[in-house]
Amino acid sequence: MNNADALPEWSLHPQLDQDCVMVADLPLSRLLLSRDANYPWLLLVPRRRGASEIIDLDTAEQVQLMTEIDMVSRALKSVTACDKLNVAAIGNVVPQLHVHVVARRRADPAWPKPVWGAVPARPYDFAERDRFIAVLRRQIVQPRHLDRLATPEKTR
């Protein structure tokens, strides 16, 4: 057995698990919704063990990640009619590779500054969150693109 065989399977970083709810599994990435209702905020987390930088993915995975960023960005912009999309892979706090896709409006609490720490997080009303996830899934997800959808029990 080599070291790679001894490593655990991919799992979501505990901080992302705490701060987000699952929307869907895309071909490469787990799509999450931030629990902060101040901003329509999605995250793509490639399901690759040990990845902390985009360069940790092979070329085909990098292309797939860009395809998923494109698909999610277009859907989020369509659903929210936002003024601007912020797309970033930072990872200074959570080392697991993840890409933020945040819909911004000129009237949002942090505009034009970054969203991090601008105002206290505001939790979603469960019904509002579930409706938003359903609309996103209709925009983003084609059945052939999914490994698995989150069930309501998994998103609470």
pLDDT of residue 147: 45
- The yes-or-no verdict on residue 87 having pLDDT over 70 is yes
pLDDT of residue 129: 97
Would you kindly state where each structural domain of the chain is located, as residue ranges?
Answer: 21-143
Q: DSSP letters of 57-94?
A: S-HHHHHHHHHHHHHHHHHHHHHH--SEEEEE---SS-
The pLDDT mean for the chain works out to 88
- The yes-or-no verdict on residue 101 having pLDDT over 60 is yes
What are all long-range contacts of 77-86, with beta carbons under 8 Å and residues at least 24 apart?
77/103, 78/139, 79/40, 79/132, 79/135, 79/136, 79/139, 80/40, 80/105, 82/40, 86/114, 86/115
pLDDT of residue 3: 45
Q: Where are the alpha helices (DSSP H) in the chain?
A: 3-6, 14-19, 59-80, 126-140, 152-155
pLDDT of residue 8: 62
pLDDT of residue 117: 86
pLDDT of residue 149: 44
- Give residue-wise pLDDT tens across range 27-59: 999 999 999 999 999 999 999 999 999 999 999
- Give residue-wise pLDDT tens across range 52-73: 999 999 999 999 999 999 999 9
Q: Which CATH superfamily hosts domain 21-143?
A: HIT-like (3.30.428.10)
Backbone torsion region of residue 62, taken as left when φ is above 0, otherwise alpha when ψ lies between -120 and 50, otherwise beta = alpha
- Give residue-wise pLDDT tens across range 102-153: 999 999 999 999 998 889 999 999 999 999 999 999 998 754 444 444 444 4
pLDDT of residue 41: 97
- The yes-or-no verdict on residue 6 having pLDDT over 80 is no
